[in-house]
Structure 1
Amino acid sequence: MRNEYSILPFTFKRLPHRKMLMVNQSGEFTFVSSDDFNNLLNHDLVADNSTYFELKGKHFLADTDLDIAQEMVATQLRSRKSFLRHFSSLHMIVVTARCNFICDYCHASSAALEQQKVDMNWAVAKKTVELIFSSPSPVLKIEFQGGEPLLNWPIIKEIVQYGIFLNRFAKRQLEFVICTNLTLLTEEMIDFIKEHKITISTSLDGPKLIQDLHRKTREGYSGYDVFHSNLQRLREGIGQDGASALLTITKSNLSRLQEVIDHYVELGFDGVFLRALNPYGFARQNMEQLGYSVEEFVGEYKNILRYLIELNLQGIPFAEYYTTLLFQRILTPFSTGFVDLQSPSGAAISGVIYDYNGEVYPTDEARMLARTGDRRFKMGHVLKNSYEELFAGALVKKLVKKSCIEVLPGCASCVYQAYCGVDPIRNYVETKDIVGHRPSSDFCKKNTMILDHLFQLIDENDPDVMDVFWSWITRRPLEEIRHDKFNRNSS
């Protein structure tokens, strides 16, 4: 006689050693034996089995409480989709397309220094800020991008001051970030950055020889030397934590990531984002010289993750941010707010970019695509369109409709669906279709291989390794994590 219980929706994947990984719609997961898995499906799982209670507790099955179980899953799913409540909270402003560098992997295809016609003017900047404050989000982050944004420093100052003025009435949580190579930093800029609590995001590919290899200045001097000097000056002015660094991984530094990490530690950074090269701008043109396979990237990712774990266990706190984002999605019920790992896509609904000329795009990648002449993802213009026309227009609706991972071919049945996301712009670049083609997608292959590895580590459940990951997720010292765990186990 079949046991009376209902099976709730889930996806699954067969693992080595006759194990099955199961993940439900809200992102709860469990490992079960092949026998228990088959018994579950055949309604032969007995109620006094420990697996039965675990599957019931994590809402893979329900017996007398189906309505409650469904409501619990729905509540957890709402938590994961909470980023939708903070509609368009990240607003990127390209204050200039000019740059004093000419990096051969530049996604934005930057313009020469003398081309001042690619600077944002005040009329466009003022309207852009007003549109930003039309967003319903309680949090507004304005991120200045380029080119090199410090080349149009007067407009940055005007935008910050006008944003602060508008916020006296709007009362939002207002944040500012400047993405800069730091080489044009002056004392006046540092004072302004400190006064207005502006965060700095810069670029660091490794020690001097690695940094200068692809990040070349237009005037021929070593960009690293000036970067290093100005980083110290900036920290003296705004504090050690005022600047973070972004790493671009090319063929040149992929096999030298341990050396890169050591340099990050030497310069006082406490984390890194291991991001693979994306196919935009100059990077797309130079992919043969700069690129590598997904297998090569993930192989080095595994090696450096092991190295980072050892560093943390030796008392050197240093996180890998992409791993942290994935573990937040796997081990907690909360939304990460990271655009690349959202469904529907975070394009336009979480972040948006305003180009120097007033054109609005759903992602930075869409803006980069427009640099090549393809403006199909242009949402509108700040001087010509209202907030409603921009964010409730046909383009944004199409992107949302075509980027729900729960119904996309190849994603709907994937065990990692709850932890992954959709990038319709990249899909278009690679396949000329915003839905994309999962079997040939490097984005899909990379995420699948990384998640395979992370779930292997979860299954192995090494206490030291998991303590390191929890310290990254909670942003707490490793010793504090261990102390709390010791107290829980002792009580």
Structure 2
Amino acid sequence: MSEVLRNLYLVVAQECNLACTYCYAAGGGFGQAERHMPEAIMRRGLERLLPLAGERLTLSFFGGEPLLNFPLLEETVRHASRLAAESGRGLSFALTTNGTLLDEAMLDFIERHIAYLAISLDGDAVANSGRVFRDGRPAFPVILDNLEQLRQRRIPFALRATVTPANVGQVVGTVAFLSTLGAQSVRVLPAQGVHWSVVERQQLSRVMVELNRRGLRALLAGETSTACEHALRLAVHTVAGEDAERPCLAGGGILALAADGMLYPCEHFVGVDELAMGHVDDYPDARSRRIVARFAAATTAGRPRCQACAVRGVCGGQCYAEASLANGNIELPAADYCGRIHATFRALAPDLAQGMADVEQAGRLRRAIGVE
């Protein structure tokens, strides 16, 4: 492997209780038969893959909706904790959920074991209207009630909002609304695998620029910033001098174990036969090594569209899964993504230059990104 394993996604339930209109995972099954991960697969996966980790590993529960297989989460924590203790590795657990199934037992489990909890919520009742139960009922009121349970227990959580052509006009208001719900962080991501018209793509570009400008100004003012991933990237690159060479560690530092025991470069590639890395019983083999090497080579220096890009060190390149959905090729970022990134960084550059010229603002920004 080109990287020690840092984050192992366990796709414990390839099934979901929601029927979101834009789901990239085809209703949670990733284009395969709905299934839950058996305990035997979980145990085999951990026993084979934990030795490939470095000093610390994050186990991330994912789906579908992972809480549909809640007993396996409990057993995973017990088994993984034993294995980690025996090997001397540090271990933490993360959970991504739609937030509709939280009962007392699950809340107790999260409070005791989950270091990072991400909940999907696209905004207020209107912005979130694409997230519905299978019988058509809106998920919004249930999620809102469960967020209150988390706040009462003081369980930290992050919110992830998906921007779709239907709610793109509400994005700025969506972030403002989500920021009132007590989340540690808010992330906004465009829906993948859905049709965006030219006008909708232009609107998406404008709102992402606006969010990042607001975020950068908040950082310079020493205020809480949110939903400004690209502003943070620009600050880290410009102030800390760090170049981003790839969007993530998929295929090496990140792996995903599907419910049937097949391995993939990350959780977004489950069901993509071209990038299936074989069964965990056989890992690593010749096929998996080829895929690992392919991802290791797909840096900004190795992706043709990135090679001559002026902002490649800031951007790091489009998410491999997004590029694959757009073009069927992890090496080829989508043209509209590149245009949106360039527009964002062009808009941020004057604000950043002005802020860095002010001693107090520059100091606040350095502290915000951990340079001072």
TM-score range, shorter-chain basis? 0.7 to 0.9
- Spell out the pairing of 1:206-217 with structure 2 (5 A cutoff): 206-211=123-128, 213-217=129-133
Residues 184-203 of structure 1: CA distance to partner in whole angstroms, max 9, x if unpaired? 11111111222224421101
Residue 325 in structure 1 maps to residue 221 in structure 2: no
- Spell out the pairing of 1:82-101 with structure 2 (5 A cutoff): 87-101=4-18
- Spell out the pairing of 1:118-197 with structure 2 (5 A cutoff): 118-197=35-114
Q: 2:188 aligns with which of 274, 292, 299?
A: 274
Q: Which runs of 5+ in 1 are unaligned?
A: 1-83, 336-340, 476-480, 482-491
Q: Name the aligned partner's letter for residue 310 of structure 2.
A: V
Residues 404-457 of structure 1: CA distance to partner in whole angstroms, max 9, x if unpaired? 322433422322222232445544443344432x6x622322222222223232
Query: Which position in structure 1 is the counterpart of 2:282?
Result: 385
1:111 to 1:318, Cα distance in 2 relative to 1, 3 A: closer
**Aligned alpha-carbon RMSD (Å):** 3.1
Query: Which position in structure 2 is the counterpart of 1:244?
Result: 158
Give the 3-state SS of the residue equivalent to 1:96 in structure 2. Answer: strand
Separation in 2 of the partners of 1:266 and 1:429?
A: 33
Q: Which runs of 5+ in 2 are unaligned?
A: none
1:357 to 1:441, Cα distance in 2 relative to 1, 3 A: same
- Spell out the pairing of 1:36-435 with structure 2 (5 A cutoff): 87-111=4-28, 118-211=35-128, 213-237=129-153, 239-240=154-155, 242-279=156-193, 284=194, 287-288=195-196, 292-293=200-201, 295-308=202-215, 317-322=224-229, 323-334=231-242, 342-343=245-246, 346-367=249-270, 370=271, 374-382=272-280, 384-386=281-283, 388-389=284-285, 393-401=289-297, 403-422=298-317, 423-435=319-331
The structural deviation recorded for 1:231 is: 1.3
Q: Name the aligned partner's letter for residue 91 of structure 2.
A: L
Q: Percent identity?
A: 22
Give the 3-state SS of the residue equivalent to 1:228 in structure 2. Answer: helix
Q: Name the aligned partner's letter for residue 282 of structure 2.
A: N
The structural deviation recorded for 1:265 is: 2.4
Contact 2:216/2:352, CA 8 A, preserved across alignment:
no
Query: Which position in structure 2 is the counterpart of 1:28?
Result: none
Residue 458 in structure 1 maps to residue 352 in structure 2: yes
Give the 3-state SS of the residue equivalent to 1:405 in structure 2. Answer: coil
Query: Which position in structure 2 is the counterpart of 1:442?
Result: 336
* TM-score, normalised by the number of residues in structure 2: 0.86
Residues 283-333 of structure 1: CA distance to partner in whole angstroms, max 9, x if unpaired? x3xx2589931x322211222334446667888623334122342233214
The structural deviation recorded for 1:157 is: 0.8
Determine which structure has more spread, i.e. the larger CA radius of gyration: 1
1:432 to 1:85, Cα distance in 2 relative to 1, 3 A: closer
1:396 to 1:330, Cα distance in 2 relative to 1, 3 A: same
Separation in 1 of the partners of 2:182 and 2:11?
A: 29
Aligned length: 366
